[in-house]
Structure 1
Amino acid sequence: MVPYVWLRKAVICLGVLIASFSVSYGQSVDSLANKALNFPSKLFNRIKRKAGDLDQQLTRQTEKYLQKMARQEQRLKKKLAKKDSVAAARLFANSEQQYAAMMQKFKADPASFKSTNLSGTYQPYTDSLGTALRFLQQNPQFTSAAGKDAGLVQDASAQFQQLQGRMQNTEAVNAFVQQRRQLIKQYLSQYTHLPAGLDKEYQGLNQQAYYYTQQVQHYKDMLNNPDELEKKALSLLRQTSAFQDFMRSNSQLASLFHLPGNSANSSTPQAALAGLQTRDQLQQMIQGQIAPGGQGGMDALSQNIQSAQSQLSTLKDRLRQYGTGGGNIESPDFKPNNQKTKTFWGRLEYGANVQTSRTNYNFPTVTDFALTVGYKLNNRNSVGVGASYKMGWGSGINHIALSSQGVGLRSYLNIQIKGSWSATGGLEYNYETPFSSFKQIHNLDWWTRSGLVGVMKTVSVKSRFLKKTTMQLLWDFLSYQQVPKTQPILFRVGYGF
């Protein structure tokens, strides 16, 4: 009896501990849901600044895009007028005014963003952040104990919604341009012999439309990329039951799928999922179809599933390649240059390289440390400039002596040949005389020229700071003209950031 009594007491004590833990945990959750979360003011300033910058970039790119399309149509008009002036005048009547009116509407009337207007790719972070800002705007008690950040939340929310509305307006821009392109295409299809260059001008319209769609998608991806502060704020906010209820009723995903808990859409989970087949229903249907075929039916089903998976993978690759900006997805009839969708600063590449020259009678062992900055012309080619500093090490292990042996200025051109191999070349100017002050190197007559050509091997690196490593084998075809003669074959190791 004694062990039974002790066991019963132990069970009762354990139950009391579990109940008290549950109560305390529930109280902590409730207290979190009812107290101010004290978000830092810089969070809302950062959101406002990020949305404002993207809004300006999107507006600027849209204006440039519409101006280019208007100029492209005017060139088409001039070429078509050589064949049929009446048709050209009718086709392009007031086209410049139409593009200008579209731009004015885009700039002056950003659409009021509505969470139900979900098009293109679903952006989960953008949806969560937009819903969170609306929640904090309607519930200022969660921002700070005194509600002092209510104004910051309102400004950030207004700027964020304006950006989302502007992005929705890009759909109207795309629809307008698509309509113009279709109209021009119908006119041009009536002629069997078009003036020289007319087809090229029309292809220019298609290219501009493609790059604009990709640019808009790039801005959406930038908006959907949170920083650490925003991630922590959303993580903290998701722990509150009030925000969870608000998210279920007001997010884009809720409006799309009519999630349970959204009173505006459905009152019960069954009503929310009405019309969707359950897993059990699908299994019963599949078994009913393959049962008469026996093992042969199972084999046929497996083959069909593999074929379907292959087709889905192909479709996913196509969507990933051509973007998903909403609307019609068109396969470009040219080879896209993905660099054109990036900003000027986004097309820059930074690097450093090291080159050691051997010891000879005239020069000590010298190491060139260089920094470079390049501009990507397209996905395969880039040009750039750089500067180097030449450090001397002495003439051997027993005669180490650090010295400044010169400086250099360089340019380069990289052309990808195949895979990770590229042809590279450039022109360099080097000051190869020891110096103690930079005032000594201003005389250009003391600088020597180098003309370099060679090959480069690129190795990708998975690192936080380094993107790639390069190895270059170069021939200086101007080295034979130098007095004293410099090293003709050079080997450099570089790093890309």
Structure 2
Amino acid sequence: MRSRPICLLFIVALWLCQPNCVHAQEENTLIVKSSRYINFKIKSLNKLNVRLERQQKRLLKRLTRREQRFAAKLKQNDSAAYDRYRHQRLSYDSIQKLSLPDSAMLAKTAARRNTSIDSLKAIRSFIQNKSSALNTNRQLPTTDPKLSQLQSQLNYRNYINELITQRTNNLQGIAGGSSIPAFTGIQKQVYYAKQKMNVFKEMEEEPSKAEDKAMEYLQGTEGFDKYMDEATAGPNSMQNLGPNATAADLQKMGLQTKQQVQAALQQRFGSNLSGLSQKMGDQIKSFQDKTQNINTAKQSLQSLRQLKHINRPSFKINPMRGLPFWKRIEKQYNFQTTRATIDGAPAILQLSAMAGYRQSPKLSYGIGVVEATGLGQSWTDLRLSFQGVGLRSYTAWQWQYGIGAYAGYERLYKQAAFSNTINPDQTVTTSPHSSNTYSESILVGLTKNYRINDKWNGAIQLLYDIWWQQKGMPSPIVLRFSTISK
């Protein structure tokens, strides 16, 4: 009888302690998940900063050399333009010296906002408020020096990019209508380098699986989305602007004001903007008069197509050049089989792995290795045997609809090259392209690609072996099946 009251008291005690345990567990999990997410993002942003810094160093080194060639050509062709060039203070060489900042230079760009850093700071503040609401003493530090340091570094990378753009626009204004190949080279270097930087940023924005899980947990926490919206908006958001807001308030938010636009125009076209404004006004008025006379959909479509090409570069764009080197490497795996021959050679299965370099969206070339396994003479006489290993090289050009041309050179080192023994059942015909130790091939033909999934394409290759008779092959046709990474 006495045991029942004791059990009831024990159950009541457990029930009273349960909320505290739940809150403690929730708080601990929340801090662990948020700390993991912040660490992932800090590591990713740090990698992004290193890549951007390395890319800018390479770019500025190349631009400095090209600017010297540009100045030499400009001196020969246009002395007046060369005189304007000499009186400009900013150059790629001076920007290159600024690419390694000290603490004072980093402090100048520290006030600029950065979306990624602001979101991490907002998560940290959210955890602080959540921990306070749970009445616990275990909290994250109020500030993280790594976040502030990363914000200054990433903002400075953007500042260097702005200086590069400004210098390129200045040179374009000096060159005018002169066709100087050195300036075209400068445009190409700047364009493709910025494309690579954009790829680096996209790679940073792609979260890992662990990062996804941590963020998924945080988004499921009550009040997280609302707090993030308020915290990332900051004190300078549009919703916090009063009726007496000034241009300085808009500049703090990162918005472009009339004063900034005028300063940018002065950097590009000089201090005298009255003639430019008049000319732009005349062009706008002329454009408005012309658009009033457009009455058909065909004419409107033609005008839109012309406007679409206004901001395109003057050179032909190769999208592959805007990718980092490892993004231009394609992996390829293929297999093929050959029938047994009357001279005793078995049916052979060849498995190959190759790595190619995408020169352009249509052209790629590469090298690889191949392994040959003997399968026997027939289905009733299956015998696996080592037949050799070899090397391959290829060039592929895609036309359209997945159809393309293929050409390659291959050399297979036979079993005798490794064991110094010859199969007595096999008659070997010695020729310049087939001997006891090796055989070589030149293959040309067509390839048809098809989609497998988002990461891989398949291909069927129908090839012709030029030296098939000298190797005693029953047919010159080679059929291969490939899997190619995108």
- TM-score bracket, normalised by the shorter chain, equals 0.5 to 0.7
Find the partner of 1:131 among 106, 112, 122. 122
- Residue equivalent to 2:65: 71
Query: Do 2:106 and 2:152's aligned partners in 1 also have CA atoms closer than 8 Å?
Result: no
- Residue equivalent to 1:469: 458
Counterpart of 1:383, as a letter, is Y
Q: Distance in 2 between matches of 1:254 and 1:414?
A: 56
Aligned-partner SS, 2:409: strand
1:389 paired to 2:377: no
Aligned-residue offset at 1:85: 5.5
Find the partner of 1:39 among 23, 32, 53. 32
C-alpha distance 257-445 of structure 1, shift in aligned 2 (>3 A): farther
Aligned-residue offset at 1:401: 0.6
C-alpha distance 46-434 of structure 1, shift in aligned 2 (>3 A): farther
1:103 paired to 2:99: yes
1:232 paired to 2:213: yes
Alignment of 1:83-94 (within 5 A): 83-84=77-78, 87-88=81-82, 91-92=85-86
C-alpha distance 452-38 of structure 1, shift in aligned 2 (>3 A): same
Q: Distance in 1 between matches of 2:439 and 2:107?
A: 58
C-alpha distance 32-331 of structure 1, shift in aligned 2 (>3 A): farther
Find the partner of 2:164 among 177, 185, 202. 177
C-alpha distance 188-254 of structure 1, shift in aligned 2 (>3 A): same
- Residue equivalent to 1:452: 443
Q: Distance in 1 between matches of 2:47 and 2:419?
A: 44
Aligned-residue offset at 1:447: 2.1
Aligned-residue offset at 1:216: 2.6
Q: Distance in 2 between matches of 1:75 and 1:486?
A: 60
Q: Distance in 1 between matches of 2:120 and 2:360?
A: 34
Question: 1:421-467 deviations in whole A, cap 9, x for unaligned?
Answer: 12111211112346886999xxx98222211221111111126xx51
Of all paired residues, the percent bearing the same amino acid is: 25
C-alpha distance 137-338 of structure 1, shift in aligned 2 (>3 A): farther
C-alpha distance 141-395 of structure 1, shift in aligned 2 (>3 A): farther
Question: 1:390-411 deviations in whole A, cap 9, x for unaligned?
Answer: 1111011111111111111101
Aligned-residue offset at 1:185: 2.6
Aligned-residue offset at 1:344: 1.9
Query: Do 1:409 and 1:428's aligned partners in 2 also have CA atoms closer than 8 Å?
Result: yes
Question: 1:322-342 deviations in whole A, cap 9, x for unaligned?
Answer: 9xxxxxx94223332222232
- Residue equivalent to 2:180: 199
Question: 1:62-115 deviations in whole A, cap 9, x for unaligned?
Answer: 111222222221110121222346753651566354222332349962765568
Aligned-residue offset at 1:470: 0.8
- Residue equivalent to 1:18: none
Counterpart of 1:56, as a letter, is V
Query: Do 1:413 and 1:425's aligned partners in 2 also have CA atoms closer than 8 Å?
Result: yes
- Residue equivalent to 2:332: 351
Query: Do 1:111 and 1:168's aligned partners in 2 also have CA atoms closer than 8 Å?
Result: no
Counterpart of 2:332, as a letter, is G
Find the partner of 2:354 among 342, 364, 372. 372
Aligned-residue offset at 1:387: 0.6
Query: Do 2:109 and 2:156's aligned partners in 1 also have CA atoms closer than 8 Å?
Result: no
C-alpha distance 386-70 of structure 1, shift in aligned 2 (>3 A): same
TM-score (norm 1): 0.66
Question: 1:199-227 deviations in whole A, cap 9, x for unaligned?
Answer: 22212222222223322322222222222
Question: 1:137-164 deviations in whole A, cap 9, x for unaligned?
Answer: 7877799x8749759x936xx25x5445
Runs of 4+ aligned residues of structure 1 deviating over 6 Å after TM superposition are 137-143, 434-440
- Residue equivalent to 1:271: none
C-alpha distance 381-215 of structure 1, shift in aligned 2 (>3 A): same
Counterpart of 1:188, as a letter, is A
C-alpha distance 207-90 of structure 1, shift in aligned 2 (>3 A): same
Query: Do 2:336 and 2:480's aligned partners in 1 also have CA atoms closer than 8 Å?
Result: yes
C-alpha distance 137-488 of structure 1, shift in aligned 2 (>3 A): farther
Q: Distance in 1 between matches of 2:220 and 2:242?
A: 24
Aligned-residue offset at 1:177: 2.6
Structure 2 unaligned regions, length at least 5: 1-18, 244-294, 423-434
Q: Distance in 2 between matches of 1:423 and 1:489?
A: 15
Structure 1 unaligned regions, length at least 5: 1-26, 259-263, 268-303, 323-328
Aligned-partner SS, 1:471: strand
Query: Do 1:72 and 1:205's aligned partners in 2 also have CA atoms closer than 8 Å?
Result: yes
Q: Distance in 1 between matches of 2:129 and 2:86?
A: 49
Query: Do 2:59 and 2:193's aligned partners in 1 also have CA atoms closer than 8 Å?
Result: yes
Corresponding residue pairs, total: 394
Q: Distance in 2 between matches of 1:439 and 1:81?
A: 72
Q: Distance in 2 between matches of 1:79 and 1:52?
A: 41
- Residue equivalent to 1:426: 408
